[in-house]
A and B are shown apart, each in its own frame.
Chain A
Amino acid sequence: QQPVQSPQAVILREGEDAVINCSSSKALYSVHWYRQKHGEAPVFLMILLKGGEQKGHEKISASFNEKKQQSSLYLTASQLSYSGTYFCGTDRIIQGAQKLVFGQGTRLTINP
């Protein structure tokens, strides 16, 4: 079962903030965040490991709440370059091995 992302899409003006949520029905050990621009490959942003650690990447940060089985990605003072589709990835047991399963994505559009 895939993690669930919300919202599915968001439109902002440059300089505004955004929050993207990722939730799972099962216990999480790690959460990955990736960004994909149209027609390109996904690019790694950050990994959060079990322990509730909050990480940052420029003006993009994320939190991981194990008890709630969810992670949130925070984009502060958004820039035009932040536009793209954001994916979270969480752990699943597939064929007896722990593997990364992605959510359906959140499309972020930043307008001037």
Chain B
Amino acid sequence: NAGVTQTPKFQVLKTGQSMTLQCAQDMNHEYMSWYRQDPGMGLRLIHYSVGAGITDQGEVPNGYNVSRSTTEDFPLRLLSAAPSQTSVYFCASSYTQENTGELFFGEGSRLTVL
């Protein structure tokens, strides 16, 4: 049972480049989300999904796109990377879309934009 798997673990981009951070979970969780973590800012919600075909914006969605074609996968796309997007990104999933469920986090993806 792998849990939540994120790839890549590390990535360096130049300003303006695009990339996709992958997230997959094997726990049949309906709820999946992406957070970014910056020093002193805690974890901030970027986008989330309550099931296949359903996505919505979180606190800091600008500059990011998501899609959810299957229950298992929830990729995060940066269309034109900016230095302000340098951060550690965490994908998390939960059995329930209500706020009574434990969030399971992936190991994180460290992104640097030059």
Contacts and interface: CB of A to CB of B under 8 A. Distances in A.
A98 B57 contact: no
Interface of B: 35, 40-45, 48, 56-59, 90, 98-108
Given A49-B100, A94-B45, A102-B42, 4 more contacts: A41-B90, A42-B43, A44-B102, A87-B42
Contact of B48 (A41, A92, A99, A102): A99
B99 A97 contact: no
Contact of A102 (B43, B99, B101, B107): B43
B42 A103 contact: yes
Given A41-B107, A104-B40, A104-B41, A47 B100 contact: yes
Interface residues of A, number: 27
B56 to A, nearest CB: 5
A44 B107 CA distance: 14
A2 to B, nearest CB: 6
Contact of B107 (A32, A40, A100): A40
Interface in A1-58: 2, 29-30, 32, 34, 40-44, 47, 49
Nearest to A103: B42
B43 A87 contact: yes
Nearest to B90: A41
B44 A102 contact: yes
Contact of B103 (A40, A44, A49): A44
A49 B102 CA distance: 12
A99 B55 CA distance: 13
Nearest to B102: A44
Nearest to B105: A41
Contacts of A94: 45, 57-59
Contact of A30 (B43, B56, B59, B99): B99
A34 B45 CA distance: 15
